[in-house]
Structure 1
């Protein structure tokens, strides 16, 4: 379980990004964070594993306050907090397999990490994951030769190879076309359900949040203004989160189908 209490973040030379956020995420939940640019979504996600240092408040992961951990204890805690990045964060010159295996660096010796000699069990699990996401033919391909969707799949495999209890996903579809975005979201939701992983997804596309998560949390100006089921995202709720807009026109195209780009 994750409990966030009165979380504030003020950047030294910038605005207040989070203003007293309170949030509870139960074990096995998958929630989507939505909101306008600058609402604090990425800051909130990155505060949870302290890639961004909170200014004040508590982040309790299974009753352990992440904010109070020493650097050594934080490294240990991060082993169980996987992260999937918008910009993929792959090592371009390394192969797909080498990038995936980097998810086990926190579990092997310094020598093993330096020489990239991983236990056979890790290699076998990496191969299973790559097969699961449709990349079994790309094991030896360099990361810089992959498409955006393929890179994101490598990032998913790397995060899952950590065997995390908690998964943070920061704008996984931002650089992808609508079809690939749906495929990536479907893959993420299937994998976290299969492995019973608790997950938070920061996502811009409201329609994808509605399609693939049961619970949606809306942020505006660093505060949570909506925390309900995805089915409750009415025009009034969207106005509360994003401001005035002709939401019916924004949601539907000329053919009457939901667009991917609601925001």
Structure 2
């Protein structure tokens, strides 16, 4: 579905954020990107939807070569690639419903979007999505009246109303407490399964990546140093990705949480320290 071939991002200073990245992501797969701050995780995601321009290489979404697009063609392609942001990127003065419907801006004309006159089918889908993410009661609330977890759920609904084929998720749990983080990751995982969506999730929490992703890719200094299943991560692999550190093998589930959605080896490792990307 998504294929990156020899993707490199070099800045005018000569510094490389990414070097010769080769990745193939099939439909329906949830892939987690892990690595230390500055490893290139956010840059990789933003190269896919061209918020950052790759210096060289090929990025193909199904039959479309994304690196060759511009103007209206690029805007059309971006409809298929919905983004979920760390800081939610909501418009605080708008209601929850208006923020969700803003995900349809790429499909409706300028005047309809300016006057917020969305087609009835879009409004009906927004109602369905708000119910699915657990916020049917909040549709008339302003975004700035919501908690962090609620704001992220609005961001997820806004992404899904685009009817995307690919989710690009940039640190969705960085501003959330541990319990809410698990709830948000579980929701993203379930929605990808329900809609057969592929997803790339940039995440610092290794334990969450192991629990909710099908595949983990480790980046260090802009290069892939690990690409495998969650159960293949061990202390040596984490040292390769992050450098020398003490790895805590104790994993404690949140009290009151439901059964995890996928089998996770008892030996899974929790990253003892992290930071912002």
Does TM-score exceed 0.5, indicating one fold?
yes
Paired residues for 1:25-104 under 5 Å: 25-104=25-104
Cα pair 1:178 1:260 within 8 Å, conserved: no
What 5-or-longer segments of structure 2 have no aligned partner? 254-265
2:222 is aligned to: 222
Deviation at 1:259, TM superposition (A): 5.5
Q: Give yes or no for contact 2:103–2:161 (8 Å, CA) kept in 1.
A: yes
* Partners of 2:75 and 2:25 in 1: CA distance: 22
Matches within 5 A, 1:137-156: 137-156=137-156
- Output one character per residue of 1:80-122: Cα deviation in whole Å (capped at 9) or x when no partner: 1100001100001000000000001111111110100111111
Q: 1:82 to 1:253 in 2, by over 3 A?
A: closer
Query: How many angstroms apart in 1 are the aligned matches of 2:32 and 2:205?
Result: 10
Listed one character per residue, the Cα deviations across residues 180-213 of structure 1 (whole Å, up to 9, x for unaligned) are 0000000000001100111110000000000001
- 1:233 matched to which residue of 2? 233
Aligned partners of 2:182 and 2:252: how far apart in 1? 21
8 Å contact 1:208–1:260 — kept in the other structure? no
Change in Cα spacing, 1:152 to 1:261, as seen in structure 2 (3 Å) is: farther
Higher helix share: 1
User: Aligned ranges for residues 108-257 of structure 1 at < 5 Å?
Assistant: 108-247=108-247, 250-252=248-250
Give the secondary-structure state (helix, strand or coil) at the position aligned to 2:106. helix
SS of match in other structure, 1:169: strand
Q: 3-state DSSP class of the match of 1:106?
A: coil
Please list the CA deviations of residues 219-249 of structure 1 after superposition, one character each: whole Å capped at 9, or x if unmatched: 00000000000110111111111111121xx
* Distance across 1 between alignment mates of 2:159 and 2:251: 36
Structure 1 unpaired stretches of 5+: none
Q: Residue 23 of structure 1 aligns with which residue?
A: 23
> What's the offset of the Cα at 1:63?
2.5
Deviations 1:17-64 (A, max 9, x none): 001111110111110000000000000000000001111111011021
Q: 1:251 Cα deviation (Å)?
A: 3.7
CA distance in 2, matches of 1:183, 1:201: 15
